[in-house]
Amino acid sequence: MSYSEKNLRIYLDHRVELIDYATAIVGDRSQGEDVVQEAFLRLKSSAVDRSLDEPVRYLRRIIRNLAIDWIRRSGIERRRYDDNADFEAVAEDRPSQEDILADRDELRIVIDAMEELPERTRIALHMHRFEGCKLKEIASHLGISVALAHALVYEGLQHCRKRLLK
């Protein structure tokens, strides 16, 4: 059975439970169904090339994140269309220019710090932080133990933290 078929089977087997979970967060069953459907589409697209150890847990995490995003968006929309709203109190949906510049500077420092790392450490850190891989997957990819994968990720993070604090 392919990953796609396994994911579909998991979705169908747990659909009602997942909709109940999403509904409890968003407070609306039809929106809960939409959130679960969107989560399945994201699972389907993100897990095409790799097997997930705990696909239901991963799917629940996607649902939770999507539901929280929906709640935030709907709150902002309600304030935007409320005739009695204090428009000066409605915050923008985006960061300030100062925050953007500071984040770019920090990202540049982190990228430079990662380039200073030994190749194996850099790969382990990249896989863990940017690709969301588990230590087990990193260990398998690099042909090392899980403990060594953990040590490499930790070492890489420490190096980046030190560079950010300079």
Total number of domains in the chain: 2
Q: Exposure pattern of 121-130 as b/e (b: 16+ CB <10 Å)?
A: bbbbbbbbee
> Is the four-CA dihedral 105, 151, 123, 6 of positive or negative sign?
negative
The domain that contains 133 carries what CATH number? Answer: 1.10.10.10
- Please give the pLDDT value at position 125: 92
Q: With beta carbons less than 8 A apart as the criterion, state whether 164 and 110 touch.
A: yes
Nearest alpha-carbon partner for 40 in 69, 6, 74:
6
Say whether both 76 and 45 belong to one domain. yes
DSSP 88: G
The domain that contains 28 carries what CATH number? Answer: 1.10.1740
- Please give the pLDDT value at position 114: 93
- Please give the pLDDT value at position 153: 93
Residue that terminates a domain, selected from 89, 112, 145: 89
Per-position DSSP letters for 51-85, written without gaps between them = --SSHHHHHHHHHHHHHHHHHHHHHHHHHHH-TT-
Residue that terminates a domain, selected from 28, 58, 89: 89
List pLDDT tens digits, range 2-36. 666 777 787 788 889 988 988 888 888 888 899 88
Which residue numbers in the chain have pLDDT < 70?
Answer: 1-4, 46-52, 76-93
Residue range(s) defining the domain that contains residue 65: 3-89
Report how far residue 59's alpha carbon sits from residue 64's, in angstroms, rounded to the nearest whole number: 9
**Residue type at position 46:** S
Cα 80 to its chain centre, rounded Å, is 28
Say whether both 83 and 106 belong to one domain. no
Say whether both 83 and 158 belong to one domain. no
